[in-house]
Chains A and B, each alone.
Chain A
């Protein structure tokens, strides 16, 4: 990673917990260019020829391996659109760590739009972690508009951890998924917005197969004058089960719009949605204050726990 400067290395730590070159397969993209790549015997990463982006091919039966594909941007005014496709074979068990960090000290907006597609083979298990992070005190905005598509074969399992805690001015995250028989999707989203930030998070899950299931849980905190829209939609098209939950804390002048939608197109579909938005309960603050915390410290503890 000799090509990376100090800012880029810091971003890399924030989005992918990387302090050095990761083990296994990786592709690091910095300021729109390749800054390091490694394929392994089972995981092959190649550049696309028609558009910018990469193909990641994971062989059948690959177990206990990981792929890291972080993106860091430290140049103000950069705008890019990247297409990454993951072809996960049958009977795999892998961890995929993506994530994007933008540092913008300049006056131009910086934007990264990643379009990820996952084709998950029969009976494979994938854990996917995606973190978004922004920093820098320039007037230029830090913008992320990721799109994720997940196609799950019979009996596959995908767990997605989607995190955006700091510094992204504007984001519109769209995730769509289609599940075949007995496939299971688990999504854990954590989102915090500050200042004038806006965040939209849209999930559309089609439960097409018998015995397929989805569990989508979003926890979010909107502070200052930020705005969030959470749009969780599950369609049950077979004997399936779906659960979505959005649980949000609003502070200051924050605003949240939760738009749950469930559509059952089969009499055997069982779908549940839960949503709750509110400020921190006064009783919680009081309890922590009786343990010696100030009100501000109590607030921090409650929010950190909530988003943990």
Chain B
């Protein structure tokens, strides 16, 4: 479904270049629930942005459903069915939650349809539908609305960047339910979740560990999870000072 071929990304960092993603090869099969994990600053968000087209790789190619999408824009990728929930969602003065969900769905969703997406992420819909997506929303509320915008789209590949951040325990249970539902739905969907949460790692078909811009481990949950939880990995994530 999604193939990364020797993808690298160098960010121009005030003169000296920082290599954030270093020659990643990945093959994400269809209809799988894949969790990407790894230490902070390892390049997970950057990788997600490369998939959504927000950043362009400085080397390598990206294939989606056997098509080379390396040169496609964010919009073109979105229209091909790639969805992306930001780690830090954006606020909009003047746009309501309903406006945003309608934009996401690409049609004039009825209020009750929009409410369904909000209920799925644990927001009491009628309280939120007319609210502006502005500074008056808390971080956790914003995060759930962000997830709802991806649910409202008819995506084939959904990428969620740390969806659990800032979400309370009650909504977290909801989140797990959403992901489980995405797995069993008759609609074929591939889901990539960037997460540190054991409960999310626990529902993964496959776990990818990203550290220092490289894939350091990839495999089934049964094999990778015990290693992440073990001491070996925690020792590894501390970057060496030179």
Contact = CB atoms under 8 A, between A and B. Distances in A.
Contacts of B95: 301-302, 305
Interface in B80-101: 83-84, 86, 89-90, 92-96, 99-100
Contacts of A281: 90
A107 interface: no
Interface string A276-308: 000001011011111111110000011011111
Contact of B75 (A219, A283, A295, A306): A295
Contact of A291 (B54, B89, B96, B153): B153
A286 B54 contact: yes
B200 interface: no
B223 interface: no
A55 interface: no
Main DSSP-derived SS at the B contact region = mixed
Contact of B83 (A290, A301, A302): A290
Contacts of A302: 92, 94-95
A149 interface: no
Contacts of B93: 247, 305-306
Contacts of B74: 286, 289-290
B149 interface: yes
A292 B79 contact: yes
B73 A288 contact: no
A149 to B, nearest CB: 30
Given A295-B75, A301-B103, A305-B99, A290 B84 contact: yes
B52 interface: yes
B54 A290 contact: yes
Contacts of B92: 284, 302, 305
A284 B153 contact: no
Contacts of A305: 92-96, 99
B78 A290 contact: yes
A290 B52 contact: yes
A285 to B, nearest CB: 9
A47 to B, nearest CB: 41
B54 A288 contact: no
A302 B95 CA distance: 7
Contact of B90 (A284, A294, A307, A308): A284
Given A286-B54, A286-B74, A291 B94 contact: no
A290 B90 CA distance: 12
B139 interface: no
Nearest to B74: A289
A289 B84 CA distance: 10
Given A286-B74, A290-B74, A307 B153 contact: no
Given A288-B103, A290-B84, A292-B79, A283 B94 contact: no
A294 B78 CA distance: 10
Interface string A27-38: 000000000000
Contacts of B84: 290
Nearest to B86: A287
Interface in B103-161: 103-104, 106, 149, 153
Interface in B151-177: 153
Most chain B CB neighbours (cut-off 10 Å) among A290, A293, A304, A305:
A290
Contacts of B103: 288, 291-293, 301
Contacts of A307: 94
Given A289-B73, A290-B74, A291-B78, A306 B94 contact: yes
Contacts of A306: 93-94
A206 B153 CA distance: 51
A293 B92 CA distance: 15
A293 B75 contact: yes
B79 A283 contact: no
Contacts of B99: 301, 305
A281 B94 CA distance: 14
A306 B86 CA distance: 22
A270 to B, nearest CB: 21
Interface in A77-117: none
Nearest to B85: A290
A283 B78 contact: no
Contacts of A289: 73-75, 78
B90 A283 contact: yes
Nearest to A284: B90
21 contacts: A284-B90, A284-B92, A286-B90, A287-B89, A287-B90, A288-B103, A289-B74, A290-B52, A290-B84, A291-B78, A292-B75, A292-B79, A292-B106, A292-B153, A293-B75, A301-B103, A302-B94, A302-B95, A305-B92, A305-B93, A305-B96
Given A291-B104, A292-B79, A305-B96, 9 more contacts: A283-B90, A286-B74, A290-B54, A290-B74, A292-B103, A293-B103, A301-B95, A302-B95, A305-B92
Interface of A: 219, 247, 281, 283-284, 286-295, 301-302, 304-308
Kindly list the 3 A-B residue pairs having the minimum CB-CB distance in the complex, ordered from nearest.
A305-B94, A305-B95, A289-B74
